[in-house]
Amino acid sequence: MTEGQRQRLLIDTFASLALEGMEPTARDLAEARDYIAGRVTIDELIARAKAEYRANLKR
């Protein structure tokens, strides 16, 4: 996937969130920038989200 394709994907994703009344956090935006630039893959972002979710379940 090209940088432009990744950017378009995230624009659409954030638009869907906005339609549901949700806003991305500063962290979401930072991770989106990293993803668009190719510094992190979608698989890495998913793994981070899953790890954070599991950690929060244990609290």
- Read off the tokens for 20: 């549901």
**Structural domain that includes position 32:** 3-57
Rg of the chain over Cα atoms, rounded to whole angstroms, equals: 13
Take residue 29 and report the two structure tokens written for it.
């935006």
How many CB atoms neighbour CB 59 within 10 A? 4
Predicted confidence (pLDDT) per residue in 16-55, tens digit: 999 999 999 999 999 999 999 999 999 999 999 999 999 9
Report the b/e string of 6-25 with b at 16+ CB within 10 A.
bbeebeeebeeeeeeeeeee
Stated pTM of the model: 0.82
Spatial contact of 36 and 6, defined as CB atoms under 8 Å apart: yes
Number of domains in the chain: 1
